[in-house]
Structure 1
Amino acid sequence: MAAKVDLKKTIDGYRARQGEFRVLEMPPLPYLMVDGHGDPNTAQEYADALAALYPVAYTLKFASKTDGRDYVVPPLEALWWAEDMDAFTRTRDKSQWDWTAMIMTPDWITEQMFEDAVAKVSAKDRPASLDKVRRETLAEGSCVQTLHIGPYDAEGPVLEEMHERFIPERGLRMTGKHHEIYLGDPRRVEPARLRTILRQPVSVYEC
């Protein structure tokens, strides 16, 4: 059997350093996705989204392994936005947040494999939000990203620096949705040591 593939080690978008903003080009990538709204800490909708995503992701992994292509399930990711983005960066009014929870899949995962995985999960202990899980390709293109170390609620100043200094000073403008990649498990890692990649799609500003 071939060696287990770890996509975090082969895709540039999983590399970031604290205190460094970097412009990179992201290729289109396939994800499992669930959409929702509200505070991720208190909304049952967010917990239900994760409870549906992970079983499908691991069922796909084991199906792929059986076919001879094993891989490490990538980390949880999420897109975040609000009608007024100050609710995300400054006031942190989580009740106003919209989100898409996501787990990337390898490009060799087919639609039939996805459908089979959903059916298998459904036959066991069907998650409440299983019907909301979909496969979609995310095409972000040019992005700016950095690594944040610390509690999620301490991201605000880093995002302000990214949005209000780094991006405009390079003649760029924000496009797309704020993207986070969670490299640490908050159930096992103390808040001060959490590692989160913060990513913002951008384009060249045109007068």
Structure 2
Amino acid sequence: MTTSKIDLKKSLDSYRAPRGTFRIVDVPPLRYIMIDGHGDPNTSPAYASALEAIYPVAYAMKFASKRELGRDYVVPPLEGLWWAEDMSTFTTHRDKSRWNWTMMIMVPDWVGSDMVNAAVNQVKKKSSPARLGDVRLAELSEGLCVQTLHIGSFDDESAVLEQMHHNFIPDNALQLSGTHHEIYFSDPRKTGPEKLRTLLRQPVTPIEAATSVSFEE
């Protein structure tokens, strides 16, 4: 056992992306605590209540890992899967009221489902957020992906995504095959919009061999 603190976003290659260029990566299957919702993240009560549920569980797991296993780690960044019936709402219209989302935080591979359940029960005893019962543990298998680092406001992502979806991906004989994925390296409550650091990821497949990603619970 060790008491050194592990930072997973620094040790996993799939959490690295350059700014100003697109990178093709093979993302391994990873486990997350997740919670689903719909609507504008800036105004939807469902989004706020989702974060109120998922963050305490993530920190309860971290402290349990350090206390019980002697393995301390930095709580990984918040991540989000985003989709809509009309995907142009991401790159053209930006109608956030039509967005569906899954907010999630990665779970280290040494943290078992029993420890996740114990963390949920611990949070329930202390504060019991309204959507705590909706938090679930699931594995996400994305495989081949295109990603880049975006620095700036969330609303400025559309030009980057337009270039990714309509230029880089088809120019490399690839096609979209999964859900738009964002990893938030900055806290918007503490960081100005122009300095926000967000990893933008899009699962893809070669055009001649299309497959789909799936969740395994």
- Pairwise same-fold verdict (TM > 0.5): yes
User: Matched residue of 1:57: which SS?
Assistant: helix
Rounded to whole Å, the distance in 2 between the matches of 1:128 and 1:181 is 24
Runs of 4+ in 1 over 6 A off after TM superposition: none
Coordinate RMSD, CA, aligned: 0.9
The corresponding residue for 2:113 is: 111
The answer to whether the 8 Å contact 2:3/2:66 transfers is no
Rounded to whole Å, the distance in 2 between the matches of 1:102 and 1:112 is 18
TM-score, length of structure 1 as denominator length = 0.98
The corresponding residue for 1:86 is: 88
The corresponding residue for 1:129 is: 131
How many residues are matched?
Answer: 207
Write out per-residue CA displacement over residues 162-193 of structure 1, whole angstroms, 9 at most, x where no aligned residue.
00000000000001100000011111110000
User: Matched residue of 1:91: which SS?
Assistant: coil
- Residue type of the alignment partner of 1:167: I
Rounded to whole Å, the distance in 2 between the matches of 1:40 and 1:144 is 24
Rounded to whole Å, the distance in 2 between the matches of 1:118 and 1:8 is 23
Identity %: 59
* Alpha-carbon shift at residue 2 of structure 1 (Å): 3.2
- Residue type of the alignment partner of 1:91: H
The corresponding residue for 1:140 is: 142
* Alpha-carbon shift at residue 9 of structure 1 (Å): 1.1
The corresponding residue for 2:98 is: 96
Tell me, which stretches of 5 or more residues in structure 2 are unaligned?
210-217
Rounded to whole Å, the distance in 1 between the matches of 2:3 and 2:118 is 23
Rounded to whole Å, the distance in 1 between the matches of 2:14 and 2:196 is 18
User: Matched residue of 2:90: which SS?
Assistant: helix
* Alpha-carbon shift at residue 13 of structure 1 (Å): 1.6
The corresponding residue for 1:196 is: 198
Rounded to whole Å, the distance in 1 between the matches of 2:95 and 2:194 is 21
Is 1:156–2:166 an aligned residue pair?
no
The corresponding residue for 1:39 is: 40
- Residue type of the alignment partner of 2:152: G
Rounded to whole Å, the distance in 1 between the matches of 2:148 and 2:187 is 18
Write out per-residue CA displacement over residues 90-147 of structure 1, whole angstroms, 9 at most, x where no aligned residue.
1000011000000001011111101111111001111011011000011000000001
